Structure 1
Amino acid sequence: MNNKNQTNPDVYGIGRKKESTAIVYLVPFSESTSQVSCEVNGQKADSYFQQNFTYLNQITLPLKKVKLEKKYKIIANVKGGGLTGQADSIRLAIARALCKIDKVNFRPILKFEGFLKRDARIKERRKYGLKKARKASQYSKR
């Protein structure tokens, strides 16, 4: 048997954005599974993201594009960063986990939508002699 999903039902993906890192497990729904479809750091996703539907829609978007939102439960462990970075890192991790499930069918869809791109922009470090990364004190000629 070459099917890994029968031996280990959990499919996982890792995503990063800014300072946040997310590890996401996709667990197939069964009759015994509770009806919570998304769980972040042990809490329901809507309470973790403070009922902000922008973040909640962003998280479930990869599953909706491949039409699997009712078939998998999302369990995410996130650390670092703010809510926006955490939501983006969860979305990337879900997209990578979906590619592990069915690479041939899901990867072109997710790649076209841009869900598999890692946003590599990070905060620029502060330089000495300046107030911030690029902000200098006002120049005085005399």
Structure 2
Amino acid sequence: MREREVDAQGRSYATGRRKDAVARVWIKPGSGKITVNGRDQEVYFARPTLRLVINQPFEVADRSGQYDVIATVKGGGLSGQAGAVKHGISQALSKFEPALRSAVKAAGFLTRDPRVVERKKYGKAKARKSFQFSKR
């Protein structure tokens, strides 16, 4: 069995990553309030699908409304940031309650999604798109 990792304030910390976004996440027992970059989740992630993504780890672990989340996230777009926060919450949850690790891992939330934007190549318009062919 894994060791429970909690700091002096009773919080568990983890880093989540997705695409170019990096999220620092702290969770502690509370009423289910999620704060992202000092703003409420409804304000920061206006789209309901993004809020749904963030709450997935709690749904899988049957811990909805039991933890307060404080997250700071940088880089990428909103979708990548939501994925990074989800990854961070999953990691922090498994550190706070090691018994939940198997449920969260089975859902695939502990794995960092390796898909990133492909780089542009020389002699090409974009990563794979070629310039328009001209016969003359």
TM above 0.5: yes
Q: Pick from 110, 116, 126: which aligns with 1:116?
A: 110
- 1:32 is matched with none
Uncovered stretches (5+) of structure 2, i.e. residues with no partner: none
More divergent stretch after superposition (85-94 vs 58-67): 58-67
- 2:41 is matched with 45
1:71-111 superposed Cα distances (whole Å, 9 cap, x missing partner):
210101000011100000100100000110122x2111111
- 2:62 is matched with 67
Uncovered stretches (5+) of structure 1, i.e. residues with no partner: 30-34
Deviation at 1:66, TM superposition (A): 1.2
- 1:28 is matched with 29
- 1:97 is matched with 92
1:27-74 superposed Cα distances (whole Å, 9 cap, x missing partner):
222xxxxx6711000000101112x11111110110121122222101
Deviation at 1:6, TM superposition (A): 7.6
After TM superposition, the runs of 4+ consecutive aligned structure 1 residues lying more than 2 A away are: 2-8, 138-142
Residue 3 to residue 91, structure 1, CA distance change in 2 (3 Å): closer
Q: Pick from 75, 79, 87: which aligns with 1:84?
A: 79
CA contact (8 A) 2:4 2:96 kept: no
CA contact (8 A) 1:36 1:44 kept: no
| Aligned residues with identical type, % of pairs | 39
Residue 5 to residue 138, structure 1, CA distance change in 2 (3 Å): closer
Amino acid at match of 2:117: K
- 1:139 is matched with 133
Secondary structure of the residue that 2:120 maps to in structure 1? coil
CA contact (8 A) 2:21 2:81 kept: yes
Relative to the length of structure 2, the TM-score reads 0.89
Residue 45 to residue 112, structure 1, CA distance change in 2 (3 Å): same
Relative to the length of structure 1, the TM-score reads 0.85
